[in-house]
Amino acid sequence: MRLKDKVAIITGAASGIGKGTAELFAQEGAAVVVADLPASPGEEVAAAIRAAGGRAEFAPVDVTDAAQVQAMVDGVAARYGRIDVIYNNAGLPQAFTPIEEVTDEYFERLMAVNVKGVFLGSRAVVPHMKRQGSGVILATASTAGVRPRPGLNVYSATKGAVIAFTKALALELAPFGIRVNAINPVATDTPMLPGFIGGGDAEAGRQNFLKTIPLGRLAQPLDIARAALFLASEEASLITGVDLEVDGGRCV
């Protein structure tokens, strides 16, 4: 077991990549906090992990709300005595949108979830991790953060920000034994995927994504979960400040 007795918070864990990672982390021995919006199926995800013999609880939280994130993180630290991993994964997609049609509200919402959410989760765990002298902070960025597509203007900016933030934190927190890394998934087969295509033809959109992936398939949540497991585990003990592409060669 690669995360035996570790305590891991995963945001956006009620669906897609976060859900797949929660399941894998629990199989590898971690106590998993399934952090997601109150209206999400987070409780079902946690209950299914418990039914399979794992340790999991649902923590309803909006990652854009500083007070909620702080209370969730401090509650986990109080209940479990430590926080070994936070995976700041919650995010929103952007449908292909010409820049002149992007509204202020849309820009602010995407920044709030995709960037501020990563900042708030990271800031809240750091005092606990500094006290422990160890910890792992992960974030889901995207290939869009390094190889943007036309029409994904704001989304790409949010993911670029997450990558730069990850690298800055990696340097800042290395003296405290805290590693900070990001993962750049290529188009991944989750409920989010149609959100990138918007009102267009979903199958055509999927084929368009596929054409750009040299290995010829979309990512599955388990592909990303395995990368997160590696980065969270002791096997990656000398790895910090990377944005790891899990992309079938798309960014080459």
Whether the Cβ atoms of residue 128 and residue 82 lie closer than 8 Å to each other: yes
104 token code pair: 């202020």
36 binds ligand NAD (CB under 6 A): yes
179 token code pair: 């590693």
Helices of type H across the chain? 16-27, 42-51, 66-80, 104-111, 117-132, 153-173, 193-197, 202-211, 221-232
187 binds ligand NAD (CB under 6 A): yes
228 binds ligand NAD (CB under 6 A): no
Phi and psi torsions of 52, nearest 5°:
-85, 5
In whole angstroms, the minimum distance from the beta carbon of 11 to ligand NAD comes to 6
140 binds ligand NAD (CB under 6 A): yes
113 binds ligand NAD (CB under 6 A): yes
Give how far Cα 84 sits from Cα of 46, 121, 125, 132, 213, Å: 19, 13, 9, 9, 34
Query: Is beta strand 31-36 parallel, antiparallel or unpaired with respect to 55-60?
Result: parallel
Give the sign of the dihedral formed by CA 234, CA 31, CA 132, CA 140. Answer: positive
Q: Which member of 3, 6, 15, 179 binds ligand NAD (CB under 6 A)?
A: 15
Q: Which member of 62, 84, 223, 245 binds ligand NAD (CB under 6 A)?
A: 62
16-27 and 221-232 helices cross at what angle (nearest 10)? Answer: 50
Q: Which member of 2, 37, 151, 213 binds ligand NAD (CB under 6 A)?
A: 37
In whole angstroms, the minimum distance from the beta carbon of 117 to ligand NAD comes to 6
For the chain, how big is the Rg over CA atoms in Å?
A: 17
129 binds ligand NAD (CB under 6 A): no
String of contacts with ligand NAD for each residue 142-181, x by CB under 6 A: x---------------------------------------
Q: Which member of 135, 185, 205, 248 binds ligand NAD (CB under 6 A)?
A: 185
Stretch that binds ligand NAD, among 74-82, 85-93, 95-103, 228-236 (CB under 6 A): 85-93
Active-site residue set:
155
Interface positions with ligand NAD (CB under 6 A):
11-12, 14-18, 36-37, 40, 61-64, 89-92, 113, 140, 142, 185, 187-188, 190-193
